[in-house]
Structures are given as C-alpha cells and as structure tokens.
Structure 1
Amino acid sequence: MRADEVAVGFVNALRGAGIDVAVGSSVNYYQALGAVGLEQRSSVYWAGRATLVTEPDDIEIYDKIFDAYYGGQQLVATPVVEVTQPITLVVDDDGDDEGEDGGGDEDPGDPSLTLRWSRHEVLRDKDFADYSDDELDEAHRLMAAMARLGGTRRSRRRRRTHRTAGHPELRRTVRAAIRSGGEPVRRWYTEPGERLRRVVLLLDISGSMESYARALIRFVHAAVVGRRRVEVFTIGTRLTRITRELSSRDPDRAISEAADAVSDWSGGTRLGDTLAEFNELWGIRGMARGATVVILSDGWDRGSPEVMAEQMARLHRVTHRLVWVNPLKATPGYQPLAQGMAAALPHVDDFIEGHSLHSLELLAEVLADDRAPAESISMIGAQAV
C-alpha cells in the first residue's frame, strides 16, 4: 500500500469505529508516514498512535482497527515526497446538505481524504472581536455549560455526618437513647455545612470594550441563569446593577432588557469612580465580603490612577478572591501599561485573558478552585512588565 492509500483508508476505518479524528490530525498522520516510511510495521503503528489518538480510551479501539486493517498486508515504501498524484481533502460539515455536490471538479481517480471539522474547536480559540452574530449564538450555548462557576464556602448551618470526628448532636443522640432504654447505642454527629460562594461580575461596557462586551455579556447571562448567588454590574461612566434583567432564561430578551437598563453603553471609562460607588453602596456593605469578584475590563481608565489603586485595595481586603479578566492580555507583546490596569494589578489575585472561549474555560477553573490565592498577582504583573 502507498502512503496516500494508507492515510485515506486507515483514517476512514478509525472514524467508522467511532474515533473522532480531526482534520489536523489526519494531515499530521499523512506527513508522519512520509517521515518514518512504510518499511517497519512498528513505525507505521506509532505514527498513527501519536497523531490520530487523543483520548486514552481510544487506544484499545485503535489497536483492534490497526490489526484488522494491516492484517497480512505488505506495506510498500512510498515516501510522501515522491507522490505526484494530489490528495483531495473533502471537508465534511454537519451543516451542509446531503444532496449538495461540493466536489464536481475533482477527478474521480484522485485519492480523496474525507475529513470532518468541529465548529466548537474553531470557536474555542477564535477571538471574540472576530465573531459573527451566528457564532455569538453558538458560543452562548457553549458558555452555558461552563458558566456554573464558583466554589463553595463553609456555612454556619451544620449538617449530619457519620464521621465520629464531628461535633456531637446531643438532641438526636438523647432521643435515640430514650427509644433504647436510656442507653446511647448510637451517637449522632454534625459538621459545618457548605454553601455556594457568591460571585460578583463587574463588566466594563465602555467604547474600548465594545467588541468584547457583546460576547462577555452572554457569558455573564449564562452565569446568572446557571447558578444561584451571582450578582452582575456594568461599569463605564456609571455603575448599573443588571442582575434582575439577566435573570430571564431567554438570552435575547435578557440581553435586550439589560441594554435598556444601561444608559452608558459604549461610552467613556471611569473605572476608579465606579468601583468607589460599588464599594460604598454594595461591596463593603456585604455583597463583596467573602465573595469572588471578577472584573472584566481592558483596564483603560480616564480617571485618577490613585483613586483606582485605593478602591482596588479596599475591594481586595474584603473579597475572598479578586480576578481581573482582560481580553487584551492575549495580544502578542502585551504589557499592562495602561494607568488603570497598572494601578489595579498589585491588588489582583488572578490576571487572565478573556478574548476566547478557551480563556473563559480557564476563568471557570479559577473560580471553581475555592482555595485561597497562594500568592499575589503583583509578582506576575512585574514579570509581564
């Protein structure tokens, strides 16, 4: 068998067995066969194993398909560089109509490699600023699965436990002893319960964040309807609470009502002043105490950096974790030199990107980790500068 025939046939066999082979993996396998040659069976095996198998559970299936496909066949060494006949890559998209002919110009004699691509994989690393409206709707459905964010904290309300290391529950133990003639045959215990930790999301809706805010508002909405104890505010030239507007499970209706409630959408930026208003009216009074506060902003601020630093320090003192999500952090060569970002960074526990679905997955992982921050993000910020 030639290298092109091996790539086409073996990939189709794996897909038929249920292994999801991506487009890039198929091309890598074809190139790997040209690099290792087809003389040794073990080289062909590991070329496919290294490029086509991404899940440990698929290894057993891969081995069976490999033995069945290559059983008793003699492989002929045909390096890829010597193959003059082109391979036609036929991309199979689930959204295409089955009756539509997309390859009428290809020669039927040319070898064709039928591949499938995942829209989710494409959107996962794509920048939100480049999303179309249809892609935003698709991304919202993916966000709903990851937006059940936030860890738990200890509650004052106790719960029953079978562990003897807990606190004795005297009332229930005595009641059980009465039923057994006064002998405490079974002892009952309690331990501190757990409850969801509050998550507060502060979304920058200024003009510099417009291309990202339209995607992040969908993530914020998914968080509100996905779990309890989530509060949402917009920050720009003024502070606006939009938790109630985003409580509808219909995303179009929720985002429309939130847009009507916010009067400074795509306006200026006064992050320090709006954070001061949040601290005075909501945060310091109790909403931010022991909560995880997430600021989604690019850090551009027209106000005083001293005010920004003071308000971030106040907020950091009462929160469990203070997270800053900056879409510009993914830009090559980015440095936090904007005066607002530079003033806020020493008081932030986690400084992460927010330009793609993948970065929001990282945010969900950070918020699910309920341990206290091990170190201040100021050290990381200093390295970035």
Structure 2
Amino acid sequence: MRRLVRRIALATPERVNSRTRKSSRSAPRLDLRRTVRAAQHSGGEPVRLVYRRRRTRLRRLILLCDVSGSMEPYTRVFLSLLQGAIAEAEAEAFIFSTGLTRLTRQLAVRDPDQALARAAASTQDWAGGTRLAKSIRHFTNAWGRRGLARGAVVVIISDGWALDDPESVHTQMARLRRLAYRIIWVNPRKIALHYQPVVGGMAAALPFVDAFVSGHSYAALAEVAAAIRADRSYPHENTRTR
C-alpha cells in the first residue's frame, strides 16, 4: 500500500513568470532586446521580430502532516505520500504534533521504512497532542514569510482535533491564506457517517480552505492529487493576486 501511495503524482498548477505574463485578450509582447540582437546579424534590418515566450514553472508544493496520537492510524500512509512528493516534485514536507518539524531532508530516501524511522527520530512529540495554531504560526513565521509558501499549494493533513482555541486557529489560517495560492485540507475522518466539522479547530480552519477531502484510502488519494493540480476556483477575502 505505501509503495503504491508513493507513485501517486502530485503535480501543482503552473505559475507564470510575472515579467512575461499577458492577458488572454492581448497580443504577444515584443522582446525588443532580442529583436535588436537578431537584427545585428542581418545588417541592422529587423527581418525577424522576436516575441517574449511565456515562462512557466510548477508551483511549489508544501505538505504539513499531523503526526499526533489521533492521526496515528494514518501516519505511515501519509508519510509515504510526502516521501513520493519530495522525490517527484518541488516539495517541502513538515510534520507537527505539539510542535513543527521540517522533514524534507529526512524523507529524501528511497526506502519507506527508513524514511518513517528517520521521521520519528526527528521529533520528540510523535503521537502526542495537536497544537494546530502553534504549528501553523511556526511555519508562517519561520518559512512562509521568507517566500517558501508564497504562491504555493499548501496541503494540511490533519483531523483538526486541536488543543488550541478555535480563534487562534482562525487567526493563523488567515495569515497562511494570504501567502498561499491554494490550501488543501486532507482529513481522513471526513469519511465517517454523519461527520460535520461545525466546532473546534476544523470549523475554524475551513473558511480558508479551497478543497476539503478525506484521503482515507488509496482511491481517495486520487482526489487529493486532483485538488493539488487544480487552479484556484475563487478569490478569498484579503488574498493578494498572484
């Protein structure tokens, strides 16, 4: 199962270089410098007009995975997902429980059991409680504001059972929303009969989430991959245009 999960392709949407971005209604922009350079090889006559090419690259993928006690039944599978993302994409991986740990380097190995062992050894609060607001604040302060999350697709994998008060979760999610291109929330407990995220940390986070999926099975992880590939469907309040 974990080896299959590692093969799931987590491709993000393209990000267009702002210097070469053009609207769908405008004509291609002339690249004056390259046109002049081409003319120098033809006696000064601009026999060929050179236009700017649309530069694109995939958006960075950020994965934040809850490894608290309540998420323990799912931890191995989701860490395999993180491991596969690091191997195939421009991705950064973090785990959190009562604190946040960057895990990109530890997961950059081929063997899934070795990756899990390195992940568990990297933190002292494995299978502990969940400080969701504290962990998101740590990420935003230490990495997000330095550009890691700016314009990125951020995936949070958590059941939302947090020790923080909902107001703190709301505040930190709002900060992250202003940086990220899209926020995908993966909650394996969403599949439960009569599940309703109406209270607590999960309810506080949802207003800032673009896609809310379960990822509870291998088939459901395809929905996660589709959400990561998607473009932003609608503008959020206080969200900058990118």
> TM above 0.5, one fold?
yes
CA contact (8 A) 1:169 1:188 kept: yes
AA matched with 2:9 = A
- Flag the structure with larger Rg: 1
RMSD: 2.0
CA contact (8 A) 1:272 1:311 kept: yes
Q: Give, in whole Å, the separation in 2 of the partners of 1:208 and 1:195.
A: 37
Which residue matches 1:190? 52
Which residue matches 2:100? 239
2:62 alignment partner, one of 179, 190, 200: 200
CA contact (8 A) 1:169 1:189 kept: yes
User: How big is the shift at 1:191?
Assistant: 2.9
User: How big is the shift at 1:206?
Assistant: 0.4
TM-score by length of 2: 0.88
The verdict on how the C-alpha distance between 1:237 and 1:165 changes in structure 2, with shifts beyond 3 A counting, is same
Q: Give, in whole Å, the separation in 1 of the partners of 2:138 and 2:6.
A: 30
CA contact (8 A) 1:157 1:192 kept: no
State whether structure 2 residue 139 is matched by structure 1 residue 281: no
User: How big is the shift at 1:348?
Assistant: 1.2
The verdict on how the C-alpha distance between 1:375 and 1:199 changes in structure 2, with shifts beyond 3 A counting, is same
Gaps of 5+ in 2: 237-242
TM-score by length of 1: 0.57
CA contact (8 A) 1:284 1:315 kept: no
Which residue matches 1:10? none
Q: Alignment partner of 2:147: what SS?
A: helix
Q: Alignment partner of 1:192: what SS?
A: coil
Identity of aligned residues (%): 47
Q: Give, in whole Å, the separation in 2 of the partners of 1:247 and 1:184.
A: 50
Which residue matches 2:81? 219
State whether structure 2 residue 17 is matched by structure 1 residue 169: no
Q: Give, in whole Å, the separation in 1 of the partners of 2:96 and 2:151.
A: 21
AA matched with 1:154 = V
User: How big is the shift at 1:338?
Assistant: 4.4
AA matched with 1:374 = Y
AA matched with 2:144 = G
Instruction: Judge which range, 276-285 or 301-310, deviates more.
Output: 276-285
State whether structure 2 residue 119 is matched by structure 1 residue 258: yes
Q: What are the superposed Cα offsets for residues 313-363 of structure 1, whole Å, 9 maximum, x if unpaired?
A: 111122111111100111111111441111111121111112011221111
User: How big is the shift at 1:157?
Assistant: 6.5
Q: Give, in whole Å, the separation in 2 of the partners of 1:234 and 1:175.
A: 50
User: How big is the shift at 1:156?
Assistant: 4.6
Give the paired residue count: 232
| Structure with the bigger percentage of helix | 1
Greater RCO, CA 8 A, separation 6+:
2
CA contact (8 A) 1:321 1:373 kept: no
The verdict on how the C-alpha distance between 1:277 and 1:170 changes in structure 2, with shifts beyond 3 A counting, is same
Which residue matches 1:90? none
State whether structure 2 residue 223 is matched by structure 1 residue 372: no
